[in-house]
């Protein structure tokens, strides 16, 4: 993915999550204010009922006898004398009826001593009232009144909105996880770019001395003294073969690096499978006289593919079947069709793959840990390259062990 596209996706995602979080915080605040108004209304109605019952309906008020002095502090005008025990009874009765289940403290004004007489701390969670003392300021214009405070009102309201706060907390956690994920993606992107640049530089630096070795060896191989000496010819042949092998590995690495950075440019064309596979099979047989390849593909079967990369796919699959065979290599190439598409299968008689390793054989730099793998040179890039090319063609590839010996590699070409 390009850096510009990645930055756009990151920005849009971050703005969306922050917007949702801000909206959630605003909704939570609005819900808290709504709950606060609802609580005040219930308390106001309950205290009005207390006043009505204590005055037995005889006292009439020109204005509301319940005054909200502060957020948690209420003053209630009675207009006649009353007993504290009667007040406490009515408070408990009405608060229970209106489901006001939080702690409260009440105090009475004594007009003879001109001071507030502390009542009780009524707790909804304790059997015995708390001994906690809370101050009550006097009211200047009233004579017979009592005051009531809700010291835990904020906690009570928050507990009633715990779902909103849990949701807000979850959104904050999601935002933090998103930010951390984006940070990790950016770091991995930087690391991937550094790795790709290093591979490109390394492989290009290798190709220059490797070309010089090949040119020098070919020139040396043409010398008369080398032609007359079989040992020298063997040595120069080894140098040329190993240099070509190393050159092939470098080309694979370059192709993979190019694919990772910008994607390969495929030039698809219609390829007749039977003659195409037969030609590759013949070239493989020339390198290995003991190799047997049986091709059983329908004559008119064709696929749309990039000829160069498709050739590399087949060479890699066949080469692995040959290298990982401890007997005479025998490969059967067959085709099959169903309503979904075409299946091209490569069945060999090699040593097989441990079941636990099959899901990883297409990973970059992965090599199955066997004795044969240690004897064969490679970087674990062949099947990774094959998988990349298959994905770019929108095909599928799978590998499974045969019941007798070896593996079957299947290429699927959807219609």
User: pLDDT band for position 346 (50/70/90)?
Assistant: very high
Beta strand 302-306 with 407-414 is unpaired
CA 231 to chain centre: 60
Give the Cα separation of 7 and 224 in Å (integer).
64
- Domain 268-414, CATH: 3.30.565.10
Q: 319-331: b or e for each residue (b if 16 or more CB lie within 10 Å)?
A: bbbbbbbeeebbb
Beta strand 292-296 with 330-337 is parallel
DSSP letters spanning 141-182: S-SSEEEEE-TTHHHHHHHHTHHHHHHHHHHHHHHHHHHHHH
Task: Check pLDDT > 60 for residue 263.
Answer: no
Q: How many CB atoms lie within 10 A of CB 349?
A: 20
How is residue 406 annotated by DSSP? S
User: pLDDT band for position 345 (50/70/90)?
Assistant: very high
User: pLDDT band for position 112 (50/70/90)?
Assistant: low
User: pLDDT band for position 396 (50/70/90)?
Assistant: very high
Give the Cα separation of 230 and 115 in Å (integer).
123
Domain ranges of the chain: 3-160, 163-262, 268-414
Radius of gyration of the chain (CA): 43
User: pLDDT band for position 54 (50/70/90)?
Assistant: confident
Residue entry with tokens 């009633």: 160
Question: What is the four-CA torsion angle of 20, 26, 30, 35, rounded to 10 degrees?
Answer: 70
Helix (H), strand (E) at residue 121: strand 115-122
* Contact between 73 and 147 (Cβ < 8 Å): yes
How distant, in Å, are the alpha carbons of 113, 314, 351, 398, 407 from that of 331? 111, 12, 13, 17, 10
CB-hemisphere CA count at 13 Å for 393? 26
């Amino acid at each position: 993915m390009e850096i510009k596209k990645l930055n756009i996706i990151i920005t849009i995602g971050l703005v969306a999550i922050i917007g949702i979080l801000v909206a959630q915080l605003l909704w939570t605040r609005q819900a808290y204010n709504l709950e606060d108004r609802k609580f005040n209304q219930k308390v106001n109605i309950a205290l009005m009922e207390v006043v009505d019952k204590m005055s037995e309906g005889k006292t009439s008020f020109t204005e509301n006898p319940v005054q909200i002095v502060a957020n948690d502090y209420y003053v209630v005008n009675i207009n006649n004398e009353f007993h504290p025990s009667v007040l406490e009874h009515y408070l408990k009765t009405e608060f229970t009826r209106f489901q006001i289940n939080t702690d409260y403290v009440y105090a009475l004004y004594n007009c003879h001593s001109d001071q507030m007489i502390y009542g009780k701390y009524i707790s909804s969670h304790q059997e015995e009232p708390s001994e906690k003392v809370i101050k009550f300021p006097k009211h200047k214009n009233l004579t017979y009144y009592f005051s009531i405070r809700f010291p835990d009102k904020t906690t009570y309201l928050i507990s009633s909105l715990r779902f909103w706060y849990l949701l807000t907390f979850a959104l904050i956690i999601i935002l933090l996880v998103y930010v951390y994920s984006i940070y990790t993606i950016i770091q991995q992107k930087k690391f991937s770019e550094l790795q790709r640049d290093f591979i490109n530089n390394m492989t290009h630096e290798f190709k220059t001395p490797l070309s010089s070795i090949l040119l020098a060896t070919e020139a040396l191989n043409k010398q008369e003294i080398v032609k007359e000496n079989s040992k020298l010819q063997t040595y120069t042949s080894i140098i040329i073969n190993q240099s070509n092998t190393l050159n092939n590995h470098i080309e694979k690495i370059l192709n993979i690096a190019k694919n990772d950075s910008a994607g390969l440019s495929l030039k698809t064309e219609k390829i007749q499978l039977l003659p195409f596979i037969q030609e590759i099979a013949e070239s493989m047989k020339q390198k290995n006289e003991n190799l047997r390849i049986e091709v059983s593909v329908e004559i008119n079967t064709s696929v749309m593919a990039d000829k160069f990369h498709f050739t590399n796919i087949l060479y890699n699959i066949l080469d692995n079947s040959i290298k990982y065979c401890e007997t005479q290599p025998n490969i059967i190439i067959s085709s099959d069709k169903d309503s979904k598409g075409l299946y091209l299968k490569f069945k060999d008689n090699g040593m097989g793959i441990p079941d636990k390793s099959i899901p990883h054989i297409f990973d970059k730099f992965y090599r199955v840990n066997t004795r044969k793998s240690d004897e064969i040179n490679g970087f674990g890039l062949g099947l990774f390259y094959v998988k990349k090319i298959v994905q770019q063609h929108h095909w599928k590839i799978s590998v499974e062990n045969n019941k007798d010996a070896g593996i079957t590699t299947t290429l699927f070409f959807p219609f």
